[in-house]
Amino acid sequence: MSDIKNPPQPIITVCCYCHRVRAEDGTFEHIDLSKAIHRGFSITHSMCPDCVRELYPDQAEDILESISTDDSLSKPREL
Ligand SMILES: [Zn+2]
């Protein structure tokens, strides 16, 4: 049985500061975004841990925690 007519559109998370892209294992790396966009991927912006720690050293852990739990959008949360 193959009922995959409308596979979910993949979402790419991009760090808005260094523009690296989050890989499946959670690490951030540089990829050619134009290819991903061309393939119909959606882009969402976030921050990679490196940039969070550099920009907000005092609040880094709190911010990273909120980002890591941000996948469940049903749970509204303010930064
Ligand atoms: Zn970054």
Which of 66-70's residues contact partners 24+ apart within 8 Å by CB, and which partners?
Answer: 70/46
Q: What distance in angstroms lies between residue 21's CA and the mean position of ligand 1's atoms?
A: 8
Q: What is the pTM of this model?
A: 0.65
- 5-17 pLDDT, tens per residue? 766 778 889 999 9
pLDDT at residue 43 tops 60 = yes
Q: What distance in angstroms lies between residue 19's CA and the mean position of ligand 1's atoms?
A: 6
Q: What share of the chain in percent tops pLDDT 70? A: 77
Q: What distance in angstroms lies between residue 30's CA and the mean position of ligand 1's atoms?
A: 10
Structure-token pair, residue 72: 């469940």
pLDDT at residue 67 tops 60 = yes
Q: Which of 24-28, 32-36, 49-53, 54-58 has the lowest mean pLDDT?
A: 32-36
The Cα 58–Cα 46 span in angstroms is 18
